[in-house]
Amino acid sequence: MSTDTRPSSATSAALAFMAVIWVSPFAWLLSNAFDTGANGQLRLPAEPGLGNFLGAMSGPALTQFWNSMFIGVGTATLTLVVGSGAAYALSRLRIPGRNGLLWSLVLLRMLPPTGILVPIYFAAQSVGLLNNLGIVVALTVLNLPFAMLLLKNFFDTVPVELEEAAHVEGASLPRILWRVVMPMSRAGLAVVWFFTFTSAWNEFLFPLLFSRTEDAFPMSIGLYSAFGRNGSIEYGFLAAFSIIYAAPAIAVYFLLRRNMNTGFAGVGVKG
């Protein structure tokens, strides 16, 4: 007696409907991005070309791209460097109340950004950091608690015996960190860098307040300000700009995917 496992017509129709809902925005984005005469309709490109992408990667738009790269890469790298040092110290040094201190920082980070925006703004203003460098510093401060928490968990799994053996062989602390601890914690380092980069890349609130001129805008603000510019909406430019805006985060994911997929497994086993 055979059992029919084929989906019913209602199930197939529901799945097809969900597929159309999912694919339609991406289809609209691609069709308008490659249509130099885009009018905002979902259609095959009437005037196909790369003019929209050239416009989205030239002039102020190109400057905004590099501003976003500076903020994203700068925040992720600074957070990783500072967070790694602090997390390693919390993992190896018997500091009284270290867990309480770490969790206190994490709980403070759970406050909404709007709740701490005013003191951060005036602190940055007092030291002349109402610019992209100030955005990097502010976002680094906000991302450090979770970075420290995650990295400490990774460093805790690295066997201390391996570090002691390297020390007996004459290795210095920087060499032990570079040759032993960091390679065995690369999954955690990759995860922290990736999520910090994407968070900084997508940040809108702090750049909106810290960036004083259009030349200092990152792409998140540039995309917002492009709506209704010159009294009209350039659908082709916005579609191409959106694709370029999404591309770096996707590229970073694929570059770090192998390290991130290792998760917490294989970091080290004490014995």
- Calpha distance 158→270 (Å, rounded): 8
Q: What is the C-alpha separation between 269 and 254, in angstroms, rounded?
A: 28
What CATH number did the domain enclosing 172 receive? 1.10.3720.10
- CA–CA separation, 247 and 260 (whole Å): 19
C-alpha distances (whole Å) from 81 to each of 76, 88, 144, 204, 262 are 9, 11, 10, 24, 21
**Residue % of the chain over a pLDDT of 70:** 92
Q: Is residue 21 part of a domain?
A: no
pLDDT score of 229: 64
pLDDT of residue 96: 81
Distance CA 4, CA 197 (A): 48
Q: Has residue 17 been placed in a domain?
A: no
**Residues sharing a CB contact under 8 Å with residue 235, sequence separation 6 or more, in sequence order:** 32, 38, 39, 40
| pLDDT at res. 1 | 46
How high is the pLDDT of residue 268? Answer: 40
Does the pTM of the predicted model rise above 0.85?
no
Q: Which helix (H) or strand (E) holds 243?
A: helix 235-261
pLDDT at 73: 96
Q: How many domains does the chain have?
A: 1
Asked if residue 130 has pLDDT above 80, the reply is: yes
* Highest-pLDDT range among 39-48, 90-99, 148-157: 148-157
Residue 111, pLDDT > 50, answer yes
Q: Please write the tens of the pLDDT for every residue from 24-58.
A: 788 888 888 898 888 878 777 878 888 889 988 98
Split at pLDDT 50, 70, 90, the class of 228 is: low
Using an 8 Å Cβ cutoff, are 64 and 221 in contact? yes
In a domain, residue 43? The reply is: no
Structural domain of 125: 52-261
Q: pLDDT by residue (tens digit) across 161-209?
A: 888 888 888 888 888 888 888 888 888 899 999 999 999 999 999 998 8
Does 149 reside within a domain?
Answer: yes
Mean pLDDT computed over 107-132? 86
Do the domain assignments include residue 120? yes
Compute the distance between CA of residue 160 and CA of residue 176 in angstroms, rounded to an integer. 11
Tell me if 22 is assigned to some domain: no
